Structure 1
């Protein structure tokens, strides 16, 4: 259908044009329509507002900085490198975020919800779980720690919220559900992160390191990754469960790094397992001198003088929890403490035995 045109009206003065419009409308100028009363907000909306108001002061914007030197003047300046999200852990100024948010930066600045900004120093990081802790020197009255929940009792279908800074837009709230539990993703150093929460709450670049909350406004996870061919939210986001965070962060604050308990063995490759038709677990190909494994008498696979492989031990379970590979064992060890006694189930030439080992400290 061709567009309607009124060429003669274009030449009329404004006053005359207004008069024509009044005549066409029946002689009465149009009035704004009356506003329909809205009524009270429903329970879901009220909870959305309540959670955001209570928790958003605990959420921060993190800007990582690079140091650059001007070629001509030789002046040194810091320029923004990337942005992300974090949250206030305690009133001592500790800020939790993802390791990949601050990875490679020379410095970082933390902007609080009231837009005050502070230089941050790195306290500790654990790339295996994509977690890092920063610290800022800010007045205690501005440091509102986020409420901590639990992740072990989460159910698929329960409501969740994410607060973050997607694309640099401060203090954005999105809402969704727990889509799945016990997912597995890969950390920045290619370690498997197991037990991850999947959510359809919109998570975009810049949300990384921000909190995933339950409907009570408690922290249940740290948003860390999205699955998206386009790089934007596709309704599949992942969060590190808070039980893991609450285990790792205090140790980063205390020691500056996560000291993983260790047995003191070197693990064989998957190819070795296949070639020798070994059971699932960790084939020991090296035992560290004066290590817990050496003290316990664990045996490594070796090669005899005739070139044949001499059978060693395969660790098939730790405290009766079956092991599929080395990553399984490292994950279980991270839940223990240095000096703790654990029971290993060992396979050797078709026979199994149990051996108690006192955990030492890893050197990585």
Structure 2
């Protein structure tokens, strides 16, 4: 029996014991005594028989023992298949699948039992480890865990309006649906302006309905404030039993090709996850306020009606943008839907706008009254110049602006299409300015009426540094001043406008370094 079950130790001991216990041959009359030393194999045998009998049968069964409690049933199957027959078809399939055994040709339950019986010998003789086909890859596991961690913070948003028709009862009708997400632990929820703007009518409802995972029913959320030009709105819901807010990332260091995740409620299908990559950066998208939103993220992650206001996350689950629009050529014919081109407001912009709305109820950013070159355009200019522009290039100075009064000089365009470089801003109040985001943050952290020192390189020339002082004004007063001087005049939609994406080639003309 022990030899049959591949237990050499007990097999040797049993053979030795049998040899010593055999009676002497008939023709020998002398006494045969078993010496104490000869009794040792007998004691070893009986000791091993008592302590190891059960385990002697395990080598042929142990490969089939799984983390589920199938061991007793599989042990019973060692002598017959009645133990395996007690399992359900689903359990049999699971055991076969987790051992990598093909059972596609099994028609009946007994076929599955026989296939599992056959697999025991293969499993015991094979030293290789079998990876269950149902196991997730490391990448899939990361995506699953990211979704589980982030999805509770995503909100399903519905709006409703009073009907225009005469009615004796004050009923409300649905106006639209969208997505939002929890910004902080004080109950602030961020979404798109066009989601809460009552179905595109432009009027704001007093409340909207917001529902997060775990809520028994949707709750009323108050509208804290909106910024139509950035297509952003901030709501507030009761703070009882709120999930963890999303982690906030950055968008100025995004790379084309990095993986992204979008969570939303497309066509009312709540908590839908789609994945993709960053397809492009620095896109201009028309905002709900009629002005372009600069520096948007383009992605091929599926974004559909209902995803608006939802988070765009990086592979670690950090917020990098707010989904706001899709390119839909068939929208005019009522065929709006994803074709692999979606846009998200970068989180650096979202952070500035949302913090202003939470603090003041509206956006009250001060402005210098200039337009600057986009970071990618600046890099293109650097390649043409053959040297680094360590700062932000001034492209335009608006009339009656603080920048004009301070003496900032803009870049200019010659008749032959070449550009004469203007001032390069390197510091604001002693803080270094390396990219457009640095300047935007430095200015928008100030208040209207604050005086800031601006260090510039005249004509972007390293040998011509100069420090200027400018008194910031609010964007509203700047707009009123521009309108009074020229009815057709306008200012950029943000405090410091960005330049460089309006031409067809997406790159500046030739550069004239003066």
- Normalised to the residue count of structure 1, the TM-score between the two structures is 0.70
Name the structure 1 match of 2:145: 50
1:93/1:143 contact within 8 Å kept: no
Deviation digits for residues 27-62 of structure 1, max 9, x if unmatched? xx9537859963411112211211111000000011
Name the structure 2 match of 1:310: none
> Which residue, 316, 319, 324 being the options, matches 2:425?
319
- Quick one: distance in 2 between partners of 1:245 and 1:150? 10
Deviation digits for residues 262-287 of structure 1, max 9, x if unmatched? 3589xxxxxxxxxxxxx962452x57
> Which residue, 302, 317, 321 being the options, matches 1:217?
317
> Which residue, 149, 158, 165 being the options, matches 2:249?
149
2:185/2:239 contact within 8 Å kept: no
- Quick one: distance in 1 between partners of 2:155 and 2:472? 38
Name the structure 2 match of 1:86: 180
- Work out which of the two has the higher radius of gyration on C-alpha atoms and give 1 or 2: 2
Partner-residue secondary structure (3-state), 1:220 = strand
1:150/1:242 contact within 8 Å kept: yes
Instruction: Please say if 1:65 is aligned against 2:160.
Output: yes
1:261/1:334 contact within 8 Å kept: no
> Which residue, 226, 229, 244 being the options, matches 1:128?
229
User: How many matched pairs?
Assistant: 289
Name the structure 1 match of 2:238: 137
Structure (1/2) with the larger strand percentage: 1
Name the structure 1 match of 2:266: 166
Structure (1/2) with the larger helix percentage: 2
- Quick one: distance in 2 between partners of 1:128 and 1:317? 28
The 1:72/1:257 distance shift into structure 2, 3 A limit, reads closer
Deviation digits for residues 299-335 of structure 1, max 9, x if unmatched? xxxxxxxxxxxxxxxxx657369xxxxxxx9x96675
2:187/2:242 contact within 8 Å kept: no
Structure 2: state its 5+ residue gaps: 1-105, 117-131, 331-335, 371-393, 409-421, 428-435, 459-465, 478-514
- Quick one: distance in 1 between partners of 2:227 and 2:364? 9
Name the structure 1 match of 2:124: none
- Quick one: distance in 1 between partners of 2:294 and 2:164? 42
- Quick one: distance in 1 between partners of 2:263 and 2:308? 10
- CA shift for structure 1 position 229: 1.4
- Quick one: distance in 2 between partners of 1:239 and 1:64? 22
- CA shift for structure 1 position 294: 9.5
- Quick one: distance in 2 between partners of 1:264 and 1:281? 9
- CA shift for structure 1 position 101: 1.0
Name the structure 2 match of 1:359: 472
- Quick one: distance in 2 between partners of 1:175 and 1:70? 43
Query: What root-mean-square deviation, in Å, do the aligned CA atoms of Structure 1 and Structure 2 show?
Result: 3.4
Structure 2 matches for 1:1-364, cutoff 5 A? 31=108, 38-68=133-163, 71-73=166-168, 75-103=169-197, 104=202, 105-106=204-205, 107-115=207-215, 116-139=217-240, 141-230=241-330, 231-263=336-368, 281-284=396-399, 286=400, 319=425, 336=443, 337-338=446-447, 339-341=450-452, 343=454, 355-363=468-476
1:109/1:119 contact within 8 Å kept: yes
1:198/1:236 contact within 8 Å kept: yes
1:318/1:342 contact within 8 Å kept: no
Partner-residue secondary structure (3-state), 1:95 = strand
- Quick one: distance in 2 between partners of 1:280 and 1:184? 17
The 1:280/1:155 distance shift into structure 2, 3 A limit, reads closer
Name the structure 1 match of 2:20: none
1:319/1:342 contact within 8 Å kept: no
Structure 1: state its 5+ residue gaps: 1-28, 266-278, 299-315, 322-328, 348-352
- CA shift for structure 1 position 144: 2.1
2:397/2:404 contact within 8 Å kept: no
